[in-house]
Structure 1
Amino acid sequence: MQDQDAPDQESPASTDHPVDAGHGRRERAERIRTDLTRLGRPDHGFVNPAITRASTVTFQTVAEFEDALSCDLQNGPYTYGLLDTPTERSLARALASLDGADGGILVESGLAAVGVALLAFVEQGDHVLMVDSCYGPSRIICDGLLARLGVETEYYDPRIGLDGRPGIESLLRENTRLVFMESPGSVTFEMQDVPAITAACRKRDIVTAIDNTWATPLGFRPIEHGVDVVIHALTKYVTGHADVMLGALTARTRPIWDQLKTTAMDLGHGASPDDAWLALRGLRTLAVRLDAQEAAALRIARWLQTRPEVKRVLHPGLPADPGHAIFERDFDRGSGLFGILLHPVDTESLARMLEGMRYFALGYSWGGFESLLIPQHPLTERTATPWTEEGTLLRASIGLESVDDLQEDLADGLERLHA
């Protein structure tokens, strides 16, 4: 087993070469590429940190043992495997550096990270604002667990404050404690005006959180835009190989980190050091994988816009998308996930299309090396802003296959709609 202190002696990349907002987008994108190869690594010896599998940590003296009960959980000595290991700390610090955060926390899944963020700042009688285009299981936590605890969740229009709509200020109450964002939104991909929302909340000391899984820290850095808590489902792009369940939260300030960490501990959350190590490995190739997946997704999305079976493509990177201006203003890049709104088709035709795909599989999750294509049902997943567009919605996750193969597969699938 590697010495406990060795992984904390990280490469100077994480301190002397920080990711900051003082450079242009192109310069920052190139800097991040280098940082991804170095963050979370020891500054000498083996280029990859060891995997520290541990539950018990032993101490040399009674005083050391007693002091551990009140140690600094972010930077202090290790006390118990559930709370932290050198492998997990390396990943948490790497993610915090990428996000420009004070610190990071690892949990077992992206959904666990959502749950920690939702529970950390509320108590009975409080009010939460959740974007209506949120990840479906996030809604389940709000409507189930939070409701049972006496916390009210109100869903809001993802386009709030845009196109003449009133801003988030119109929904803030005296007991509002948290505003939860996702941009672009799950399934329907609306972009939010994150800076405007965080500015309004900051005036009222309301905590803001965002699920940033779609963009990753390479595409969007929410803390630079005023967000307090950033959530990542590392299961997706960061690990990138469809074989890890892992989530993370990063915090803008130390008090916010403390509150998140306390909540995670109270709930018994933790992460596997093996999974943390795989996520660290995934970081090394994140930029090149996203390069390929984003480029392939945009090429396919543009081609789909020319197909007669397609009513609209939901991708903020396309100039015709309603959220494109915000995407261009706030984001450095996109990813490989987008929506395809078909003209209305019957169930049998849709099944014929999807079940005959050669390279696109039917399966949950996204962000891995494999392409996925699944039907979505926004009519049942919205409450504040009903989905009014007629048609059949699909969600495509573009993997690392040949773009020509994927486009041909989609073309054949669309032809099957006419069979």
Structure 2
Amino acid sequence: MAQLDETHDRKRLSWVISANGHADFPIQNLPLGIFSPPGNSELRGGIAIGDMILDLTAAAEIECFKGEAREAAEAVSSGNLNDLFALGPAHRQALRKRVSELLDAKGRDAERISMISGRILHRAVNCTLHLPARIGDYTDFYAGIHHATNVGRIFRPDNPLLPNYRHIPIGYHGRSSSIVPSGTPVRRPAGQLKAPAAASPSFGLTQRLDYELELGIWIGQGNLIGKPIPISEADQHIAGFCLLNDWSARDIQSWEYQPVGPFLSKNFSTTISPWVITPEAVAPFRIAQYPRSEGEPRPLPYLWNDRDQREGALDLDLEVFLMTPGLREKRLSPQRVAIASTRHMYWTVAQLLAHHTSNGCNVRPGDLFGSGTISAPTASGFGSLIETTAGGGQPIRLESGEERRFLEDGDEVILRARTRTDKFVQIGFGDCYGKIRSGESIVFGA
């Protein structure tokens, strides 16, 4: 696991004034991303600091880096983070330490760098953010036990949680081509639909469009095919984290998922937050994995590591906000409809990766995992509408007077994640959001 060092010092402030007290991107965070500067379509590597973006390529050009930190900065010159991910933890950590020094208000370079800040800093609001990496493969897991139980109760009232759930991390391979960065509109998908009483299916737009609150997990160094990653080494292969919304068409899903699982109900769009929150940034917020209850099975040896159980979980608050046409019309703020926590993941990130590669499957730098929907034990923390509304039978009422069973055109879903501790400076992930557009052109060919 990443160790605590001077980059986590809560007293460290930046000469970038907006970073001090910033809800997401103080100097203790320093997430990685890919952006285009104002008026320029070139893809460049950057680090978020307050309301600004540090241009790593520009900083390297004026010789801000040496050694492994320079190699790391140069690795993003290709316009993605894949090569940096492939270098592994040592280069990433060297880059973090050097950038923290450069941006430190009391650092030895503070005066020199701040005087030329116009060459290396851009206002984030004027930049375009892109996918951080070329995503070769995407796997979505099912690590939220409360979500699995709630949805299972809807689809299988007599058998909500299948017997394998507590023994094996459940997952399926998703579609990487339709993963999009935060802010990209989401078109309502079409597919085969079959009402319970209907004699045969029809084709049309989903009427039960839903969100899923998930943690995204970026893979760093990969493994050779046929060589599993042991759970004791799995953390060295994790490059960072993001938020992930696995948009889901529940009516399409209920018809197609038997017997091999979701397909068109999931692959039309997956939204991720654009900043990669590194393992070093979340090091202060590692906690013990929630212990299993008496009588629950202990994972098989390849999924068990004492250190991972002591410090392999994350303590992050996860929130879902909904902005609707009615809320906009009344000039109301987005309404929070759920708050959950990564504490409720039944499997650790290391267990997910160890299981994924246990049969010899190889993963590569820039591959992406989804944790699966994360829900709290109570209704105020359910990570999807199908749970919150009990399958659409109990609509939620918004401050605008509107009701929602599932998402409607014009609705915008916003996911947020922040740490919660008084011992260290709070960091966040930045928003992960998408707005629903009509999908009529899919059906009518417009």
TM-score scaled by length of structure 1 = 0.24
More strand by share: 2
Give TM-score, length-normalised by structure 2: 0.23
